[in-house]
Structure 1
């Protein structure tokens, strides 16, 4: 069982003091950088799948190593060092000399090859020769000889850089093809960190992009390592005036290269954490200075390990498990493995190209797209692609994008050429598989006998309200084909009960979670929709599923998700979902949230392997969605209906102020269903229905009662919204916003002097999710749940 998630960006921030001889605290902002990248690229998801496959590959490699069947092949990785200066002469200040670069590369090779009689040698029996060498590239991306092997000098026209500018400006404008070069940027990293000191370096973690479904490959334009110029090089190999003590022996690049090749910090970034390497003893935290007798977590700490935070002079070991992990990454991560055939380090002769390519996915949906990446050697200048079953069927682009509109397995052919000649055709038969599933689909894990599982004690139901007081139940969808959005769901309830009169306005909340919780359990809430209990009662009586259309197209970003229901314990109300019989499902997709709020699989906590009867309406295209400002109103009241997902909308139903447009106002005199049809864009579903329930009673005035007085539009929104509150109450009014945990994020004080109070509200600075807009006036509190995209 994996106890920790790997971060996509793994950074080592080692801080330095104004006093050059005094070691000071080192810093790491791994999670901060990881969160920023994932916010920008939500399709990256977590690295659970990557870590699982990596662990399996490690086991395979370690078995071969133990059996002596792993060939001692030395891997060579080409490196290009981008020396970023501010106009200084070569060898002065930031524009470090070629000899300083060479001293660093020599140290990197000593450390990764466990060279005898160097600082990079450790006699510990778990010490490993990683069997990786780094060679300076001798040709650039156009195949031209580089004046200084391995060095690309860049005048950045500024004295120093922070991480934001490096990631957003420097890297994208200067990187070399990461499939052919290991990019290292040497810059003036004059960025303060908490506690004093400044950043020394950081790396982008490798990713796996050949999993089924949506690619999980991190941006190539930022792939590589960043090192501060004062910690790049080895002062024992030359008199380099810019280098500073403690971090002047080249181990910053060794450490960051370890991250770039998939290694974690040795302490697992938490107290006695797991770095996924069994031969690195757990330790409580990073080490400082050089403490060879340090003992934490019941172990003598391996402070000499390159993935600790010890001083440069203290570091001298990678372990056998770290080697297995690195070699596994070279197999699992396409961008790392492609470096092995780069051929930019050896003696170059004019030769015709050797064609090669890869894709980020080889299985696509009907109508899906595939991006091809050219990996050809020999520096081709022209490309000739042929795509069986694809559109276009041929291309002369280097990295074309192809659409596949018919199911089957299709051949891809590439021929490249340059001035020296034309390559032999590279033909890959049945390379692309196009599934006979379109861009709109309904998926379910249910394939068995409809069953309602009762608790053994007879008090309640396993998949519903029960004596264990489960807070929620859910069904996991792996979304292996990478669908981008969820339009709605159909849930089959097997039981729906209500005390006499209790179902009048009782609701069941259907909920969508992402699959980023522990072991792919439910994580953050993506969407919720209240469904009247009386509708579920009618559906159960008619033996049909309860169909739910969400207020918006729920963004899935091609990642796993859960659909289920939350279970409030109101006297007399009981619901339970239909499941398969125990043992009819083999994939442990049913989950429950226990009384303490922890999510558990049925298979683990109850010994039951079942699937809930839940169907997801998913797609790569949007569907028409509809939302109502209220689902229960008094006679004579109005309700606002909002549609989204299309370009043109047409409404039908009694009491509408208009039949056209994305927003209409309805004044039903009895419970009424409204249908909206959409057009003007390519849709999965072109219509949606919403029902407004009108309470029995006398027609009231158009002034809503207190429980209906608060309106927030639009909802959902991007964070800019208008709050409207209608009530005869007057006086001091507090407008606030709270998160789902009750924490207050916004508070505004106003005076209400008329029946209707209106105020613009802006929460664009908060993360997407669910929030509550709250108005307090006198002793009364009014709340409205809102969704922020």
Structure 2
């Protein structure tokens, strides 16, 4: 849905003094994809860019058909703008506190570009250019329904000279934004961020996708809009504005960023000869700079005059017909874009009798679930009267109430709003909310049929396990049609488990949860993992019972599809295989496997076999108690750290514990021991979890120290602050790194190890919650430890 587009980066060393009027350095490459990935990692419920593209392309096809048959609506869309002028106490019209005339010059330019009107020097007259049929107006009515003294301008003293990107999105925007359902928010601010080598001309946030779950209140809704560097906002040809600097002084930065805000991609597709999903923009190898008219790359003449390239302001002069179709599609399908059309804040009336309107974050809810209703009424109501059939509460006078539904059925919602000028007509939406007869905690499986273990066709081994074709992993797909938010555990039935003769007793099988955003719905990124000792699976197979797993933390599902399965290491001759249904007993092609090349394939597509794995997930809309240990296997006398999560109060049972209470305890078992933790203080799906710590045979004394290298990270899981300890006789240059599940390095530090032990504090507070791998590299040897950041 959303994405941040950090565009037109200015090279390091550019003077920040207002009186220094040297031209801006050429722009650096935009950090678009990096920031988009960061945003989607923080809010996975946004879906992927592909999710957004699929729906957008379908709507574009419809719009193009209407345009071709002359049935396309020609009504000009008007979007209201509120410009937040962020200053440091300067007088109006001085420095960062730009004048109303400079704001007006920018608005005129924006309308020239989106309506294909000739500008001061004949801009926008490209013969293949499109009139987007969108105009922008400065809001004349504020959030309270009052007439604004300066139309469209909200002056804000930020009490600082400049702002980093993190501070803009984390502090400035959330504290100053106006309702994005009614206003297009534009922040004009002195952006100076060392992570992008200094000044940044601007960045925008992509529109949201209408069929995805609601956005957190403090998430993208409070950052929706565009931030523009104050020295690139306005048009120097429409007045005297000393702060503006060439070659970005003609107002095209806001035209470019508004294009992103309306769903346009960079014309080069952010890749060498990439795709911007508009067929009438020729492919090009990279961003342009200056005005290289006639530039040829990717086998065609580049459209360097397009507003979505990086050419100088004086060069750009065109949007295309496909870009128009894309923008118009966004205005139809994106929630916070289409509601702008009825906001009526550019009119001359301060208020009128309200017209009631609302939206819900979901219209299908589980039994006992909650729905958040958002008022989007026009006319600036001051009073709200809601009626919720089947809901608790059944009535409300809040503007944006949250309602719980405890009985199944389809229910009506009614809203009446009023202000000093009168009351609206009732808005009645019948059977608007559907409450499903399924609870907030559930077990889910696709398996139904005859339990069997199928041999690998044409080879040795098993279809759903280790085999001669070296299948790397197998998984079962779950569509999560009821939008459950988390997975606390799983149950997997193995039909085969063998340990190689003489193999170590510490072999493990890794149970893995992936999201369902891979190719054609296959496994994508890893959401959670848990190592299960092979000895446990051997015992479960012998006793004909499934193997149950409690994950280290509640695995976030975000209401989206996911996979549960196992990875299959080929070591020491160990063998495992999952139970499946018989071929043909499953009709939904939910079984997947990862071949030796790493490609994920459906069994039905690659083998012509339609089965389901005997796998179940414990899912919920409420948390469950989870438990993790710093080590599963220890020597006698060693200690292990146990961490619990999911509740607010924890009590423990088991021998050798440092305490019976708390989220983290230390255990020092003398033999293999099970530890159980019980949670309370919050509403839980599962209030208890158990973990077993295996104690090796033999003794460890001070005269017989452990000489094998050992890497530990405590606490694990943690909130981000942890200690890395590494014991080894190896000495010399040591590298400490942290990688995410995709192998991307997020931390890298260098040290000199001079003794047998190395210990270092590690801070991952700024990292998103999830699974990471701590890596110690010394000489040619590498040691890794999996950690969980809550």
Which residue of 2 is the match for residue 165 of structure 1?
167
Distance in 2 separating the partners of 1:534 and 1:139:
70
**How many Å apart are 1:182 and its aligned residue?**
1.0
Distance in 2 separating the partners of 1:153 and 1:636:
65
Which residue of 2 is the match for residue 764 of structure 1?
764
Which residue of 2 is the match for residue 103 of structure 1?
105
Counterpart mapping for 1:30-49 below 5 A: 30-38=32-40, 40-49=42-51
**How many Å apart are 1:317 and its aligned residue?**
1.7
Which residue of 2 is the match for residue 63 of structure 1?
65
**How many Å apart are 1:220 and its aligned residue?**
2.3
**How many Å apart are 1:341 and its aligned residue?**
0.6
CA offsets, 1:151-202, max 9 Å, x none? 333344444444333323332332221111111222334557857x732221
CA offsets, 1:505-540, max 9 Å, x none? 432121223445555544444433222323323433
CA offsets, 1:437-495, max 9 Å, x none? 22212223334554544333122333221222222222333444443332110112233
Distance in 2 separating the partners of 1:7 and 1:297:
29
Distance in 2 separating the partners of 1:655 and 1:156:
55
Give SS of 1:626's match.
Answer: strand
Which residue of 1 is the match for residue 429 of structure 2?
428
Give SS of 1:313's match.
Answer: coil
Q: Unpaired segments of 5 or more residues in structure 2?
A: 16-20
CA offsets, 1:624-665, max 9 Å, x none? 333445545677877665544445555556777876666363
1:11 and 1:204 in contact (8 A); partners too: no
Give SS of 1:11's match.
Answer: strand
Give SS of 1:199's match.
Answer: strand
**How many Å apart are 1:20 and its aligned residue?**
4.8
Counterpart mapping for 1:508-657 below 5 A: 508-515=509-516, 517=518, 521-580=522-581, 588-602=589-603, 605-606=606-607, 610-628=611-629, 630-632=631-633, 642-647=643-648, 649=650
**How many Å apart are 1:716 and its aligned residue?**
1.9
User: 1:272 and 1:497, CA in 2 relative to 1: closer, same or farther beyond 3 A?
Assistant: same
Which residue, out of 115, 119, 124, partners 2:123?
Answer: 119
Give SS of 2:314's match.
Answer: helix
Counterpart mapping for 1:333-372 below 5 A: 333-348=334-349, 351-372=352-373
Which residue of 2 is the match for residue 133 of structure 1?
135
Distance in 1 separating the partners of 2:631 and 2:87:
61
1:213 and 1:558 in contact (8 A); partners too: no
Give SS of 2:166's match.
Answer: helix
Question: Which deviates more, 379-388 or 602-611?
Answer: 602-611
Distance in 2 separating the partners of 1:724 and 1:92:
55
Which residue of 2 is the match for residue 8 of structure 1?
3
1:213 and 1:480 in contact (8 A); partners too: no
TM normalised by structure 2 equals 0.87
Which residue of 2 is the match for residue 50 of structure 1?
52
Counterpart mapping for 1:395-544 below 5 A: 395-447=396-448, 450-502=451-503, 504-515=505-516, 517=518, 521-544=522-545
Which residue of 1 is the match for residue 386 of structure 2?
385
Counterpart mapping for 1:673-688 below 5 A: 673-688=674-689
Which residue of 2 is the match for residue 3 of structure 1?
none
Give SS of 1:200's match.
Answer: strand
Distance in 2 separating the partners of 1:347 and 1:31:
41
Give SS of 1:314's match.
Answer: coil
2:721 and 2:765 in contact (8 A); partners too: no
Give SS of 2:528's match.
Answer: strand
User: 1:392 and 1:706, CA in 2 relative to 1: closer, same or farther beyond 3 A?
Assistant: farther
**How many Å apart are 1:679 and its aligned residue?**
3.8
CA offsets, 1:675-695, max 9 Å, x none? 444444432112233345566
Distance in 2 separating the partners of 1:67 and 1:415:
41
**How many Å apart are 1:284 and its aligned residue?**
0.6
Which residue of 2 is the match for residue 665 of structure 1?
667
Which residue of 2 is the match for residue 248 of structure 1?
249
Distance in 1 separating the partners of 2:297 and 2:731:
57
CA offsets, 1:117-153, max 9 Å, x none? 84123212xx322221112222111222223333333
1:737 and 1:774 in contact (8 A); partners too: yes
Distance in 2 separating the partners of 1:583 and 1:63:
42
User: 1:130 and 1:725, CA in 2 relative to 1: closer, same or farther beyond 3 A?
Assistant: closer
Distance in 1 separating the partners of 2:215 and 2:146:
36
1:11 and 1:201 in contact (8 A); partners too: yes
Distance in 1 separating the partners of 2:3 and 2:699:
59
Distance in 2 separating the partners of 1:237 and 1:630:
68
Question: Which deviates more, 534-543 or 740-749?
Answer: 740-749
**How many Å apart are 1:46 and its aligned residue?**
3.1
2:411 and 2:431 in contact (8 A); partners too: yes
Question: Which deviates more, 342-351 or 138-147?
Answer: 342-351
2:2 and 2:220 in contact (8 A); partners too: no
1:471 and 1:568 in contact (8 A); partners too: yes
**How many Å apart are 1:378 and its aligned residue?**
1.0
2:24 and 2:245 in contact (8 A); partners too: no
Distance in 2 separating the partners of 1:293 and 1:268:
19
CA offsets, 1:28-74, max 9 Å, x none? 22234335544554544534322222222222222222233322222
User: 1:159 and 1:723, CA in 2 relative to 1: closer, same or farther beyond 3 A?
Assistant: closer
TM normalised by structure 1 equals 0.87
